Chains A and B, each alone.
Chain A
């Protein structure tokens, strides 16, 4: 009995065990890793991954893919860099509005037009990529210092605001998925859309909401990135597409939808951010990160289905 309970705890929290193990190994391997400033950077660079992963978790749970997350983040940095001189508030408002509209369009396409979520968001991704390049053909633009300072606020070496953002994302993600009606509907739709419909879930509305959440959280990630890099860049968001998938799948959310949650995603975001840094500390050039990330994504997706198949048969 105690054994079973232990097994369940390990099964539920395995990703955190991996995270801690990874940190311990990294700290022993590299002396540079053992500093507060490293962990501070890891938390800061995990924020966009966690935010993009928040939306992607919702979408994958409801049996979809959102390929437009990275470009929405880029678009947010581009709009921010062009409009921030009007004032921070209006600019953020505009970005949230635009991302809402993108989410609604994605959602309408997927739910009402019954377009495969993958091709819908792929088309959207390239459309927005063109738009972003029009707004900001080359990196640059103006981001107010206040905005940067506020989002990256540190107490000593502890990145207070980034950690708070992570916590907030975690609370919102977990609460909405576990306790709110929307969350339960997402699980129902992802588990089996037909039976969800039979039991009175408005599948179309749920799908639209899911894509809105995804677009808005990606836009927030983009805002954070723009504060970090202090400018707008049309290409900066692209890598977050891969990271979001890796974070979601590594966190135990099934590729097939309906099973999983945000708890794993946020730990995976920390792992992905840590991997980037340990590779750097070991003196491995940036281009190897792409290979590592790609292998990780394919490996995680493959392993996951392998284990699930074993469990079910």
Chain B
């Protein structure tokens, strides 16, 4: 399975009467895109805004961030099972607008004391485009097309979230189609079978076991996560690293807030790093396993056993990297999977997230399990903040959020999109001192 990513750098997005990519300038026919998104009859209106690095602009609350990508004509559907018909992702050529992003804003139900309603309402994540918070964010340096869908008031909350998801992938594909037929500035090929390096014959086999969702907050019937499925009752499955990178997975509706965006499924830092080591002959990337964090005890045990079994007996892995979905409960599934892997003789490393408010070691020790001793700790940034820049423009889903965001005096890292990340992108580490 070979995936060819054709990169087209973008440094400007301009409104125009024609959607086109000229050099590094993407022009967008805003009305055409709006009409395209409004084909979803649940939406009453859609606001579209362009924001740049350095703009004194704040955007919130962010539902998801995506990289604009589109399959080359004839190479398969985009976001199969979600947008396009079901077909394997991860093969052929995909055009990528590097430097650009589609950021979708959730206009509904903000609030609650964490910034989100008690059950997956609005999210409290903001996109900051200027100042130190923007510099610390993976998204502060990108040119964003911000999509703010407004659903009709009678549309139920889960259907609103579904309309946000559809709008996000539609906009991402619409923009990247401008690159079809253009010569990319460079191309990267992802092919596990490519060059059979000699040293790879003796290199350790490494797999990735990643949670694509967690069920602790409930899961909606229409929630697209894996090839359009909502992952309820899901057992671990083999998912080729290329499928992971190429639109088979998007984040769930909820809680974009804390370090999960589709952008980092498309640019999965762990898969990319394992590919790098594979191409250098240091490891054999032996495939990836997609799993979920369950809300049921029996499923936690079953999924952990099966994920470890796949890694051991199907992928013949010597080592695995494990990551979890956002929140506390998913640690359990991840550590249980790691424990079973270690029992089977597979060496494990796991990525945990630190949200301890009292900043004490004891609060970070809770989930430890004997034998699982290689753990990387990314901080969600509860103890990192920056003075908020005075902004000239706020892009938000409703007037209440506009006024809230305009008045912010301080930005805490946990609320800044692109700082903390559960997919391995973050440089914010929790240090034991």
Decide whether A and B assemble into one complex.
no
